[in-house]
A and B are shown apart, each in its own frame.
Chain A
Amino acid sequence: EAGVAQSPRYKIIEKRQSVAFWCNPISGHATLYWYQQILGQGPKLLIQFQNNGVVDDSQLPKDRFSAERLKGVDSTLKIQPAKLEDSAVYLCASSFWGGSQETQYFGPGTRLLVL
């Protein structure tokens, strides 16, 4: 079974530029998550989708971050404009949404460096 796919793996941009990340979840997984992991910290949830609807975006900086999940499968996360503090690894995860069977499976992440 294929895992969670993410691209690109690495991205270097200058501050005030825009950037987009792509995620393809495990087939059949209804729930998709985007996390931000700053160096030396644990992942922090940015947004959670259930199919193509948003379940939780309470920690998404909405003035610069946006995300969508059209058709309930692939998702994109965008930052516009980027700031230096956005340098981090952006992880995508997916899960089946099965109550007690809920386990999130993570992709390899996108390492973003903002100069």
Chain B
Amino acid sequence: AQKVTQAQTEISVVEKEDVTLDCVYETRDTTYYLFWYKQPPSGELVFLIRRNSFDEQNEISGRYSWNFQKSTSSFNFTITASQVVDSAVYFCALSEASGTYKYIFGTGTRLKVLA
């Protein structure tokens, strides 16, 4: 069965610190997709990244980077030099290609960046 675990409920860092948000997933499919979304206080889920299971290349986008490791079923998200505007709840999600592309979300990690 599909499952996404975000063990970190809440993280607090001081501005300019680096922070890593963990995501561990479970799936029986060989083809699947992983996502990260940001949910600011306004409530809208903002898409950050999609990663296909057959592409283990890590990705960097500005201050954001993602580390995908199939061997440990993890898809971790790192923010470098955090800023107050990064404060939000971050969700990891999994979608299996064999189904209807339904997303299974983790419970989210609340990140607080203190000035």
Report whether chain A binds chain B.
Answer: yes
List A residues at the B interface (Cβ < 8 Å): 31, 33, 40-45, 48, 55-56, 89, 91, 93, 95, 97, 99-100, 102-109, 111
Contact for A102 among B46, B91, B101, B107, CB less than 8 A: B101
Chief secondary structure at chain B's binding surface = strand
Known: A102-B95, A106-B45, A108-B43. A45 touches B103 (CB 8 A): yes
List B residues at the A interface (Cβ < 8 Å): 4, 33, 35, 37, 42-47, 50, 52, 91, 93, 95, 97, 100-103, 105-108
CB distance from A45 to the nearest CB of B (A): 6
Contact A107 B44 (CB under 8 A): yes
Contact for A103 among B4, B47, B102, CB less than 8 A: B47
A111 CA to B43 CA, complexed, in Å: 9
CB distance from B12 to the nearest CB of A (A): 17
Q: Across the two chains, which residue of chain A brings its CB closest to B91?
A: A42
Q: Across the two chains, which residue of chain A brings its CB closest to B46?
A: A106
- Please list the 6 inter-chain residue pairs (A to B) with the smallest Cβ-Cβ separation, ordered nearest first: A42-B105, A106-B45, A108-B44, A109-B43, A102-B101, A55-B100
A46 CA to B21 CA, complexed, in Å: 27
Contact B102 A105 (CB under 8 A): no
* Residues of A with C-beta under 8 A to B42: 108
* Residues of B with C-beta under 8 A to A109: 43-44
Known: A42-B91, A91-B45. A104 touches B100 (CB 8 A): no
Q: Across the two chains, which residue of chain B brings its CB closest to A31?
A: B101
Sample (21) of A-B pairs whose CB atoms are under 8 Å apart: A33-B103, A40-B107, A41-B108, A42-B4, A42-B91, A42-B106, A42-B108, A43-B103, A44-B105, A45-B103, A89-B43, A100-B33, A100-B52, A102-B95, A105-B47, A106-B44, A106-B45, A106-B46, A108-B42, A109-B44, A111-B43
Q: Across the two chains, which residue of chain A brings its CB closest to B108?
A: A42
